[in-house]
Amino acid sequence: MRLQDQVALITGAGSGIGRESALLFAAEGAAVAAADVNLAAAEAAAAGIVKAGGRAIAVKADVSQAADCEAMVAAAEKAFGKLTVLFNNAGISHADDDDAISTTEAVWDLTFAINVKGVFLGCKYGIPALHRAGGGSIINTASFVAILGAATPQLAYTASKGAVLSMTRELAAIHARQNIRVNALCPGPLRTELLMKYLNTEEKKQRRLVHIPMGRFGEAAEIAKAALYLASSESSFVTGTEFLVDGGITAAYTTPL
C-alpha cells in the first residue's frame, strides 16, 4: 500500500477531488481526517471509508476560520497520533465571479478567504503537526488557470489560484530541509459540481472544451490519483512544483509557434 501508516487530513473532503482523494488515500493504507464545511458530506465520506475497512473521522471545518483549521489538525492528531499528509483542497468558484468590472468585492473577498487564506491557515496549523511527525507532504490545490488564465472570465478564482501557487513555492523552499515537501496540484477543467455550476450553459462548456487537446473534461478520480503520487514516498524528490493534470491544455498554449 502506497500510504501505509500515513495520516492524511483532506479539506473539502465531502465532494469532488476531496472525496475521491479521501477514498483513494484510505484504500492505499492512510488514516483519513475528512474535513468539510458540510459536516454531513464529510461524515458520508468517512463512513464510506470505514465501511470499506479503512480508518477515518469526519471534521466540520470552515477553512477561512483559524479556529476551525487549528481544530481539524488537532482532531487528526488526537484520532490517529500524528499528521503526515495535508491536502489543502477546499475551494470555491463563485457563480458571480467575472471580470474586474463585474466582479463584486464580496465575491472577491469570499473567494480569497477560502481559496487563499484557507491554504495559509491549513499550513499555519498543519506544518507544526508535520514537524512533530518528522516530516510529510503538503498538497495545495491550485489550477491550470494560475498559469494560463481562463478563457471564461473568473478573475477572483484565477487570482486566488495564482496566490496558492506562489505560496506553495515559498513554503517548499522554506521547509525543504525539514523533510516537508510542498507541491501545488494544478487540475485542468474537471467534470465536477464546482465547475459545472460555473459553466452552466452549453456555450460556456464548449468555450472551455475547445481549448483542451484531449477534448473532454477530466474526472475528480484522475486528480485524486495525482494527489496520491504527491502524498506518497514515490514523490520523495518532488517539492515546489506546479503539478499539471490538465488534458494537455497548458502544453497547447505554451508551445512556441
Active site residues: 157
Number of H helices and E strands in the chain, helices first, is 11, 7
HSE at residue 199, side-chain half, CA atoms within 13 A, is 20
- The amino acid that residue 193 corresponds to is E
- Rounded CA-CA distance 13/58 in Å is 9
Which residues, including other chains, have CB under 8 Å from residue 123's CB and lie 6 or more apart? 86, 88, 138, 140, 167, 171, 182
Other Cβ atoms within 10 Å of 124 Cβ, number: 14
